[in-house]
Structure 1
Amino acid sequence: METETVPLAPALARAVRRLTDAGVASPRFDAEELAAFVLGVPRSRLLLVDGLERTQLTRFDDLVADRASRIPLQHLTGLAGFRHLELAVGPGVFVPRPETELLAGWAIERARAVAAPVVVDLCSGSGAITLAVANECPDATVYGVERETMALAWARRNADARAAAGDRPVTLVQGDATAPDVLAELDGGVDVVVTNPPYVPDRSTVSPEVADHDPPAALWGGPDGLDVVRGLLVRAAALLRPGGWLGIEHADVQGESLPALVRRHPAFEDVTDHRDLADRPRFTTARRRKVAAGETDQPRIES
């Protein structure tokens, strides 16, 4: 006896309407991703699918209901795409965003310009940037630093999966990325430091997916969003070799304040801000300068 199927198109249309009514930002994309997840096919192959079996339709409807309640799409599928990788994500870890791929790409370009580069990803989270660098720059030695236990567990899971797939293993360290003893053995020898730190200003309005499901430690950065960054600048200055590069993601409202903060630190020069594909300020880069005899390398105290 043939298994009864339900046409996919009307099921998708209902899901899109439900997600639209719930305020989901990308209702059609999310509905198609959930359908593809249930069917076990890439989203690009949905046009070749005739329909859903009854059990699949029930599962699809349940997932759409969860998404309408603003559970992140990536928590429902358990995966987040990042550059050429699929990363396992879920409760307790920040879901990597597409805009962070630009910062990762910049770090990869800088690393490729150096023979056998050493790269450090501070505030590694799921390991997205750490593992993207290892995947696309196979001669790099890559370290990731993450303080939160649950996030580090996700990063280690992803690192194990990438190592099994043939990528060069990375070193993941649990610790406060601003602490002077974290990776102190690398001080003065790192080619690229990259970070996607907590930078959301306190009391900012964020979506339910972020407010209710991203870990607070990965989001909030103090009144101006730059509290963690201030400590990271000191740590990055110690880690980097003269001429090494620093890249820091920031909020679109920090396109002037974060570069200005980096410029005030005497260890950095060639400070540049970069925009994302939506033409919003997204990340700042700088080069570690050499310290001449008699000069100080300590940041000036802000009034």
Structure 2
Amino acid sequence: MSPESTRIRPFHQVDVFSEVPYLGNPLAVVVDAEGLSSATMQHFANWTNLSETTFLLPPTDPTADYKVRIFTGSEEFPFAGHPTLGSAHTWLRAGGTPKADGVVVQECAAGLVRIKHDAGRLAFAAPPLTRFEAVSDALRDRLAASLRIPAKSMLDAAWLVNGPEWIGVLLGSAEEVLAIDPDLAQMGELKVGVIGPHRAGTGVDFEVRTFIPGDAMTEDPVTGSFNAGAAQWLTGSGRAPQEYVAAQGTVLGRAGRIHVQAVDGVVWVGGASSTCIEGTVML
């Protein structure tokens, strides 16, 4: 890290996608990241040992309210969902005022992302899928092997790339999703999200699990980017209603809740955020 840029910077740790603090997905946010190199950001993100760490910067696009850079422990993402909501929550808490009434515009490597208030929660407009197609037969067989499930139990499988290169797998029930015991070695470099419907009356509509074998945390507690892609896939094909709630993190002892709403061709993905740690870091 460059000693000439080291100074005290505001720092927040936010819990995202849960109405109850400490039951969602934590995010580290450095509020004032001006002067930090990419190497320093990556080093710090690795040190936090969280799924993602974000760094807030002044926007370079005049229509944006702020710019964010999003890092996992090993790489930078052009877009990610829970870092988008957690960063917007933190920017607003730090005194940010949107240029447009009721809408925050985030600049990230994937482009501009709109964020709005929705029933007391923040929700982002799902970015377009840059790759959306069925997986090959060979990859479908590999997915079945890596999830340790019969290939015939996969109702569908598709590339859902919106920054992270997700593959979505649709199963017939939430129970099947919760029962998965993956073979991470077989999964290799793939980022795999699995979704299946809950029975009526359970309070949620779908169960989601996401696996990132190369990451420090091989199963993500709650994943906004995958849920954004899955929502476009499932609402667009009629497999999901235009408005639904998904649960994620159940097997990890979390209570993630993702609120999806498709309106006029835009899929909004929302969830609650709460600040759990607030202070400063030396960077």
| TM-score between both structures, scaled by the size of structure 1 | 0.26
Structure with greater proportional strand content: 2
Structure with greater proportional helix content: 1
Quick one: higher RCO (CA 8 Å, sep 6+), 1 or 2? 2
| TM-score between both structures, scaled by the size of structure 2 | 0.27
